[in-house]
């Protein structure tokens, strides 16, 4: 695939800028032995809520876990997509807190499932 096929180059640029590291939790591709398929280009302001599809400031690298937990959460709270790196970082922090709250919500269930599966 060419760079342009990565959503006009925006996804490619985001992965390079973020060094293939999840902007929400800090998980790196190195932790997964180059499993690039466990990372996605996430829209800070979701497309479904008016976020631009091809804008590198609205796209950040996310691991699959954080992407799933963030889901349709809009850290702009109905506001505009980020226009600067500073705005982007502020929105990443808001989304990170949301994701961490969701992760804690499900943690007890995950531990119980691991016990039932004989993993703990």
Q: For residue 61, how many other CB atoms are within 10 A of its CB?
A: 25
What φ, ψ does residue 42 adopt, rounded to 5°?
A: -100, 140
**How far apart, in whole angstroms, are the C-alpha atoms of residue 78 and residue 90?**
15
**Per-residue pLDDT, 12:** 87
**How far apart, in whole angstroms, are the C-alpha atoms of residue 107 and residue 9?**
36
Q: How far is CA 28 from CA 34, 49, 67, in A?
A: 9, 28, 14
Q: For residue 115, how many other CB atoms are within 10 A of its CB?
A: 10
Q: Domain extents for the chain?
A: 3-116
Q: What is the mean pLDDT of the chain?
A: 92
**Per-residue pLDDT, 5:** 62
The residues of the chain scoring below 50 in pLDDT are none
**Per-residue pLDDT, 54:** 86
């Amino acid at each position: 695939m060419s760079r342009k096929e990565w959503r006009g180059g925006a996804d490619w640029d985001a992965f390079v800028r973020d060094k293939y590291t999840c902007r929400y939790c800090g998980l790196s591709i190195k932790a997964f032995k180059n499993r690039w398929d466990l990372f996605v280009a996430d829209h800070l302001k979701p497309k479904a809520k008016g976020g631009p599809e091809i804008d590198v400031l609205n796209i950040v690298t996310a691991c699959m876990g954080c992407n799933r937990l963030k889901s349709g959460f809009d850290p702009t709270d109905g506001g505009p997509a980020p226009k600067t790196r500073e705005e982007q970082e502020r929105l990443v922090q808001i989304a990170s807190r949301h994701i961490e709250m969701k992760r804690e919500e499900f943690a007890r269930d995950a531990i119980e499932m691991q016990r039932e599966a004989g993993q703990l």
